[in-house]
Amino acid sequence: MKSFVKLTVILSIVTIINSCNHSTEPEPQPGRRDYTWTVDTINPGKESLYMLRIWGAEATDVWAVGSSSWSATSIWHYNGIKWSCDSIPRRINPSALFGISKNDVWLGNTNSTIWRYYGQWELYGKYKVNNFDNIVIEDFDGTSPNNIYGVGFSDVYNTNNYKAVIMHFNGYKWDFINIPDTKVSFVFMKIDPKSSALIISGMIYDPSGFVPKAYCWDGKNLIDLPLNSTGDTFVTRLGDEIFVSAGSKVYKYSNKRLSLWKDNTNTSIGGRLWCGRSRNDFFIRDVNGISHYNGTDYSLLYKTNLYVGLGTIFENDVFFIAYDHTTGKNYVIHGQLK
């Protein structure tokens, strides 16, 4: 009898240890697809405009920015009712947009400057890298007002001389992070919630075409994350997981490596995994418009001939900036769960 009890205890301990070693996160619930869709036209008057970035604190407080022929029409805001522009002239050609809260929003610019919204837009500072003419911050991400990163590139005018840059804001000032000289343009970036590493996508401008790249910056090393893909690259955080989409393939990041997660080759799905709430509830580019993945399959939820750029998502809403290459008009596609 004692031997039986002893064996039972041992088996119980082994079972507990094994269950701890092989614990898995709960599977996210499938995302809903019962959206109603509306489209707003962004009207800059007689000026040309090309929307590039979108971010919001909530569904009734969304910013969208882009390149404009007149600097007063580069910044647009949605208050839950309509999109408007304050029409204040600024020397600004936005390239990055990110906020910590509705009254703390950062804007990257193509002329070495960073702007901040603290109830109104103001120039925060101008930054240069030694022996380079200009820097462009392409993307921001952060975890608090005292921990924000920016990525992009520095270049020399009228040459093919450029290199990647990473900047950090500590609550008081922006500083350049010392990284190896790497001839690549960083374009998109997300902070991995599990390790605090930066997962970055970028492009090398080769005479034969663009070469997609992905990297991990772990605070000490810039690690190349090999991609077996061509085309546009994009980094997305879904819950506490990081994904890199490149062409028709989607890779999952874990422990300084990328593993192929979804191969959408020879389907209508291709390009950026824009945004989502989890790996079972996200939106991705479709040649026919905006598709959604619910953990089982893809479904085209909004059909359009417009070029859809980026998106931002909330509990019940999702917004996408879109462009008509024929007419030069800009739109925001808004989906709301019923």
- Whether residue 141 lies inside any domain: the answer is yes
Could you report the per-residue pLDDT of 202-235, keeping only the tens digit for each? 999 877 778 999 999 999 999 999 998 888 899 9
| Structure-model confidence comparison of residues 22 and 165, the more confident one | 165
In a domain, 119, yes or no: yes
Tokens of 122: 């103001």
Domain that holds residue 186: 28-279+305-337
Tell me, what's the pLDDT at 205?
86
In this structure, is residue 192 part of a structural domain? yes
Average pLDDT of the chain, as a whole number: 92
State yes or no: pLDDT of 274 exceeds 70. Answer: yes
Given pLDDT bands bounded at 50, 70 and 90, which one contains residue 23? very low
Q: CA nearest 164: which of 113, 209, 213?
A: 213
% of the chain surpassing 90 pLDDT: 85
Evaluate if pTM is beyond 0.85.
yes
- In this structure, is residue 14 part of a structural domain? no
Domain for residue 10, yes or no? Answer: no
Inside any domain, residue 45: yes
Q: How far apart are the first and last CA of the chain?
A: 62
Rounded Cα distance between 321 and 301, Å, is 16
What is the count of structural domains for the chain? 1
- Lowest-pLDDT range, 3-12, 134-143, 244-253? 3-12
Distance from the Cα of residue 81 to its chain's centroid: 25
Q: What is the DSSP string of 44-74?
A: -TTS-EEEEEEEEEETTEEEEEEEESSGGGS
Q: Tell me, yes or no, whether 286 lies in a domain.
A: no
Q: Residue 198 sits in a domain of what CATH number?
A: 2.120.10.10
Residue 85 has a pLDDT of: 95
Separation CA 109–CA 238 (nearest Å)? 27
- Starting at the edge strand found earlier in the chain, the sheet holding 222-224 runs 185-191, 198-206, 209-217, 222-224
Q: Which pLDDT value is given to residue 24?
A: 61
